[in-house]
Amino acid sequence: MTLTLQPIGVATGFDEEGMMVLDEQQRLVAVLVHISDENEVAPGQWYLEAGFGRLDGIDHPAFADLDAAQEWINQRLLKG
């Protein structure tokens, strides 16, 4: 599945660099936030701020990069 990433600001109060993730039908399936390099827990990683549909739930992982995030999203969208 081909995903489209679109930059967007996210009002988290901390890290605001974000990406909207759209599926092939251009539906919003996730919002990712880039964690700052100064963060002590996951510096420089991407965090699943919000997931919709099959990505909705209590699991909000962090990813080393956008490729890893897209792979995780694709795996979940293709299930079922």
Nearest to 51 by CA among 63, 59, 43: 59
Instruction: Please give the pLDDT value at position 54.
Output: 93
Instruction: Please give the pLDDT value at position 1.
Output: 81
Which residues, 6 or more positions from 35, have their beta carbon under 8 angstroms from its beta carbon?
15, 41, 42, 43, 44, 45, 46, 47, 62
pLDDT tens digits for the chain (80 residues)? 899 999 999 998 877 899 999 999 999 999 999 998 888 888 899 999 999 999 999 989 999 999 999 999 999 999 85
